[in-house]
Structure 1
Amino acid sequence: MRHLSTATKLLASAALPLALVACSSGSTSTKASASTGATSAAAKDPNAGLLTGTQLKKALAPATFFAAGFASDSSATRDTGDTYSEPSVAAVSKPDCTKLDGTSWIALTGIDGVSFAQGDYINKSTSAEIAQEIDVYRGTTAKKVIGAVVKLASACPSFTDSQTSSKVKVSEHSEAGLGDEAYTITLTDSSWQSGTTLTAARVGTAVVSVLSSSGSDNGAAAAKKLTGQIVSALKGKA
């Protein structure tokens, strides 16, 4: 066994505190680095601040909002809960125009958000339908969705109703006083009892989309009232 000299022992003893200080300093640096990394990761969360499906569900108009005779359609009532979906954008060269006359017609834009909530109400006596949906998107994508809605009407000036084989005419116009920007599409068909109104309104990162065939005005008044209700519920939150 090799023995250390007295001088060597003293040098080793003097070096020990420096080694401990170095280790301690390195540990603190590592913790600080880890903490900074966590903060950076949180700051880069693309869904930070975006409303979840659970929160959006609360912004939908309640059953008491709808006129007597309308009942919730459970098959068309759903949301993304507390989780987020991965967004996607699909190139739409030619939309399936027949899907304008249906719930979730906003999907024709080809742009999927990260969260959503929807609910559908039907009057079985009159076959009138009122549907509501809120979709949330990252960044400025919600603006692109409204832009895509504008193009839908020009891409679908008319289409054939699969049930009546009659021609459905499509018209459109911008809508003032609803959210940050809004657009309305009207569907009319001489074989229908009443036309259908579709309205899309942006509130920050959210897009409210409504379908209404309730009323003798092609569902216009009901659609505007419902859209305004949801827009008000989202104001300052989306």
Structure 2
Amino acid sequence: MRLPSHAAKLLAVAALPLALAACSSSTSEDSAAGPATSTAPSKAADPNAGLLTGTQLKKALAPASYFPSGFAPDAGLARDTGDTYQAPATKSAAKPHCADLAATSWISLTGVEGVSFAQSSHVNKNTSAELDQEIDVYRGTTGADVLKDLAAVVAACPSYTDSDTHSKVKVTGAATAGLGDEAYTITLTSGAWETGTTLIASRTGTAVVSVLSTDGADNGAASAKKLAAHVLASLKA
């Protein structure tokens, strides 16, 4: 380390009394003017504080052992946001692509994206029955808005054409009691199908659980409700 020269040391020592005098003068002036106020900016609150991450949500999904015999996970449809959060987004849902009601992430038809999610899908290769589950977490009261938006989606999609059978699919929806803080059920039926499809979105706090079921002669209603209840219980636990 290079040491300062003797002359530099002297200058530094000579400057010290001046610096002290300046500080003393400044302090006296500050005292006369009143107490000093801090100008340091306050730290902004984390908007995602307390919200579950995708990794945590993944643990709340029903495990493979939950599903009936014959069902196996579809690895290609299992995903989550991990330990980080994504930026929330809202897009217009005035003209939703109604056929997406039959897709695994049908909850996205509301046009609202949360900050974290986890999802998985299980399929019975013998009967082609499908059981899908997803949990999305939103900031503030956005989750409640998502439930309201589902009714708007149903109103905009009274029916759509199934691309596989080229048949008309009827869409009905209704508020559902007994699941979480609130829930909404959508039923899809077609004369060309052996059984219909039941979709249930249920909210608990900032999380919305969405399930899809084609398992059962009742359009998958009982199995969808059972799966939704299981995931809601896991979240509370």
Q: TM-score when scaled to structure 1?
A: 0.83
Task: State the distance in 2 between where 1:140 and 1:46 align.
Answer: 12
State the AA in 1 paired with 2:52.
L
Which segments of 5 or more consecutive residues in structure 1 lack a partner in the other structure? 1-11, 24-31
Equivalent residues in 2 for 1:54-69 (5 A)? Answer: 54-69=55-70
Query: Which segments of structure 1 move beyond 6 Å, counting only runs of 4 or more?
Result: 12-15
Structure 2 CA distance for aligned equivalents of residues 108 and 79 of structure 1: 18
Aligned partner of 1:98 in structure 2 is 99
**How many correspondences in the alignment?**
215
**SS of 2:191's equivalent?**
coil
1: CA distance between counterparts of 2:179 and 2:123?
24
- Give the aligned partner of residue 145 of structure 2: 144
Residues 95 and 15 (structure 1), Cα distance of their counterparts in 2 relative to 1, 3 Å cut: closer
For residues 42-73 of structure 1, the C-alpha deviation after alignment (integer angstroms, 9 at most, x for no partner) is: xx111111110001001100111100000000
- Gap change, CA 1:229 and 1:17, over 3 Å in 2: farther
Q: Percent identity?
A: 59
Letter in structure 2 aligned against 1:58: K
The whole-number CA distance in structure 1 between the counterparts of 2:109 and 2:78 is 19
Instruction: Give the aligned residue type for 1:82.
Output: D
The 1-side partners of 2:233 and 2:103 are apart by 24
Who is 1:232 aligned against?
233
Shift of 1:163: 0.9
Gaps of 5+ in 2: 1-15, 28-37
TM-score of the pair, normalised by structure 2: 0.84
The CA deviation at 1:88 is 0.5
What SS class does the counterpart of residue 230 from structure 1 fall into? helix
- Note the C-alpha offset of 1:15: 8.6
- The equivalent residue for 2:208 is 207
Q: State the 1:232 CA deviation.
A: 1.0
Corresponding position of 1:223: 224
SS at match of 1:50: coil
| Matches of 2:194 and 2:200, distance apart in 1 | 20
CA RMSD in angstroms, aligned pairs only: 2.5
Q: 1:51 maps to what in 2?
A: 52
CA contact (8 A) 2:94 2:156 kept: no
Match of 2:122 in 1: 121
1:194 corresponds in structure 2 to: 195
Check if 1:174 corresponds to 2:175: yes
Alignment deviations for residues 175-230 of structure 1 (CA, whole Å, 9 cap, x no partner): 11101000000001111111000000011111100000001110000100000011
Q: 1:170 to 1:19 in 2, by over 3 A?
A: same
